[in-house]
A = this chain, B = another copy of it.
Amino acid sequence: MWVYIKNLKDYIGKEVELRGWVWRSRSSGKIAFINMRDGTGIVQVVVEASSVDEETFKNARKLRMESSLIVRGTVKNEERAPGGVEIHAKEVIPVQIPTEDFPINKPDHSIDYLMEHRHLWLRSRKQMHILNIRDAVLKAIRKFYWENDFVQVDTPIFTGAIGESAGNLFEIDYFDYGKVYLAQTGQLYLEAACMALGRVFNLGPTFRAEKSKTRRHLIEFWMNEAEVAYFEHEDNLKLQENLVSYIVKYVLENAREHLEALNRDISKLEKIEPPFPRITYTEAVKMLQKKGYDIEWGDDFGGDEETEIAKQFDKPVFVTHYPRKAKAFYMQPDPDNPDVVLCDDLIAPEGYGEIIGASQRIHDYDLLVERLKEFNLPVESYDWYLDLRKFGSVPHSGFGLGVERTIAWIAGLEHIREAIPFPRTLYRVHP
């Protein structure tokens, strides 16, 4: 019976069939050891010349790294082994034996070489753990929204409308229609949908034609956005801290072995629970100025400033109430100070930077038109978006969470490119 390695503990004393690949192997005279992987784990297969036929033993000895093979044998308790079991082989059937060395076989390949071989690099242990953490983060995001009665509304990628800024957009020729753009955000669509369904979220790829090469940027990345009708700034902050805490807790509970395998400092993650600290933009600027940063009220924060702010806390920190002119046109002014808006950036601890951008949205028609003009945006392109303020407009709020940045933080990765299966960066779309 075909069994996956991660389930072997349920088959102790039984005969099973494993299907997988050679991770490492060695042999000496009358015994061969194959460390075999199948995508769910690694197990040691023991092949003794005395207990198998000659063919099987010969097969076992000629296998090299990443040969594919089928093994039939008995599952034995072996407390010294990583998964607590090993396999005593009766049959070893090679499926395909490479004629060349596996390309990913040294500890010191350059990052460019690894990226060029991403299709094979994925088989390495570290990448396997990261992809399992990614999977857990994606599950957590969905489960959070399901448990909180959100409806998934998939927002379009092709869009004639313009998001936050007209720059950094990829263009497409759309039949006879002319140019369309790849969406940088589904927010405007979620705003329409939350008026129909109350609480909505999306989760999918998004695109920025940004010439950034930092360890925090990808050209194609996944984003989760949420939007809730009748939510105001304070509700929005609570939703965000609940979501982020839920994700971290879910990963700790369901993918802890993968965090441990990456040597992630788990104690740092165990501190992540609501409420998160909050400082205003104005307080943050003052703090940075005291520390000698060359920043003035009105400037946006860069990576260094975000890291400095994050250093003050051991949880993600909300920076709220940014200057109106530093943020997008649709953000609701603070009634106590119309120079700032009811928004927040959520900055992850340990230097991982901004993982959420959020705001309450302007719900008043006249104010929204005024702001479009203030930002020199073409009011006519926002025709349908303005309709939302004409027909039963309500206060509403939402945010966007960068999925890969969240994964990079939780998994403790040095660079965001390992947080996605096939990264697209400024110079790379291959493989």
Contact = CB atoms under 8 A, between A and B. Distances in A.
A98 B392 contact: yes
A330 interface: no
Contacts of A39: 151, 194-199, 229
Given A391-B66, A392-B98, A421-B193, A131 B153 contact: yes
A388 interface: yes
A177 B427 contact: yes
Interface string A125-160: 001100110110011001000100101111111111
Interface in A210-224: 211, 219-220, 222
A171 interface: yes
A156 B422 contact: yes
A430 B161 CA distance: 8
A205 B154 contact: yes
Interface string A222-235: 10000001100000
Interface stretch (A115-123, A268-276, A285-293, A352-360): A115-123
A193 to B, nearest CB: 6
Copy total for this chain: 2
Given A96-B393, A420-B154, A431-B384, A122 B193 contact: yes
Interface in A366-395: 384-385, 387-395
Interface string A401-431: 0000000000000000000111010110111
Contacts of A420: 154
B149 A40 contact: yes
A154 B421 contact: yes
Contacts of A429: 156, 158-160, 174, 177, 180
A135 B198 CA distance: 14
B154 A192 contact: no
- Of A98, A103, A152, A426, most buried by chain B (CB within 10 Å of CB) is A152
A294 interface: no
Contacts of A430: 160-161, 384
Interface string A255-277: 00000000000000000000000
Nearest to A209: B175
A401 B171 CA distance: 28
A11 interface: no
A301 interface: no
Contacts of A171: 172-173
Contacts of A149: 4, 6, 40
B151 A198 contact: no
A151 B131 contact: yes
Contact of A131 (B117, B197, B422): B197
A170 interface: yes
Contacts of A192: 118-120, 122, 431
A21 interface: yes
8 contacts: A39-B199, A119-B384, A157-B157, A157-B205, A160-B430, A172-B172, A175-B209, A204-B205
Interface of A: 2, 4, 6, 19, 21-22, 38-40, 66-68, 95-96, 98-100, 102-103, 117-120, 122-123, 127-128, 131-132, 134-135, 138-139, 142, 146, 149, 151-161, 170-177, 180, 182, 189, 192-199, 204-205, 207, 209, 211, 219-220, 222, 229-230, 363, 384-385, 387-395, 420-422, 424, 426-427, 429-431
Given A40-B149, A100-B390, A157-B205, 19 more contacts: A40-B197, A96-B393, A98-B392, A103-B391, A119-B189, A120-B387, A122-B192, A122-B195, A127-B196, A131-B151, A131-B196, A139-B146, A142-B142, A156-B220, A156-B424, A158-B424, A189-B431, A193-B421, A385-B431
